[in-house]
């Protein structure tokens, strides 16, 4: 069954047991990852937080949702988010799912044996479509 943006946002907010992506009109729980995958992401988050000006940027891990042209919603492993976008979202939609259409300065998918090809073949292209600066 194909679903729309409103439903994915509703499900994602109601079900905190999974990270929900919308792919080709279908809800998809982002697969679980290994300890090493998670640690690589956490190490990167720590390094970015130490290097970026906190007044200008925040770093997300396992979120936010990035809306892809064509309707897909993706959740990157790590994402650098300009604080002005967060502030605007907090003003306009404070209780809504955190979703951005705007390009991000950095979007990272940690390569893993189970999803590596998919990340390169599908997600990377979608992040580039969005205009994300570094993927």
Domains in the chain: boundaries: 33-130
Q: How far apart are CA 124 and CA 118, in angstroms?
A: 9
pLDDT in tens, the chain (135 residues): 456 778 888 888 988 888 888 888 888 888 888 899 899 999 999 999 999 999 999 999 988 999 998 889 999 999 999 999 999 999 999 999 999 999 999 999 998 776 656 666 788 889 999 999 976
How many other C-beta atoms lie within 10 A of the C-beta of residue 65? 24
Q: What pLDDT is attached to residue 1? A: 42
In the block, tokens 């950095």 appear at 106
Q: Check if the beta carbon of residue 59 is closer than 8 Å to that of residue 48.
A: yes
Tens digit of each residue's pLDDT (9 = 90 or more) over 63-86 = 899 999 888 999 999 999 999 999
How many other C-beta atoms lie within 10 A of the C-beta of residue 118? 13
CATH of 33-130, one of 3.10.20.580, 2.40.50.100, 3.90.1570.10, 3.40.980.10: 3.90.1570.10
> Residue 132, SS3?
coil
Q: What pLDDT is attached to residue 117? A: 62
In 37-123, at which residue ranges do the beta strands (DSSP E only) sit?
57-61, 65-67, 73-74, 78-82, 99-100, 106-108
């Amino acid at each position: 069954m194909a679903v729309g943006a409103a439903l994915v946002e509703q499900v994602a907010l109601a079900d905190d047991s999974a990270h929900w992506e919308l792919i080709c009109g279908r809800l998809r729980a982002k697969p679980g990852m290994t300890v090493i995958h998670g640690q690589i992401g956490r190490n990167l988050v720590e390094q970015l937080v130490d290097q970026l000006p906190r007044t200008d940027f925040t770093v997300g891990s396992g979120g936010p949702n990035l809306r892809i042209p064509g309707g897909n919603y993706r959740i990157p492993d790590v994402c650098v988010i300009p604080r002005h976008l967060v502030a605007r979202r907090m003003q306009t939609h404070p209780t809504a799912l955190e979703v951005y259409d705007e390009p991000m300065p950095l979007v990272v998918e940690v390569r893993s044996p189970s999803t590596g090809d998919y990340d390169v073949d599908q997600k990377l292209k979608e992040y580039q479509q969005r205009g994300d600066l570094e993927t």
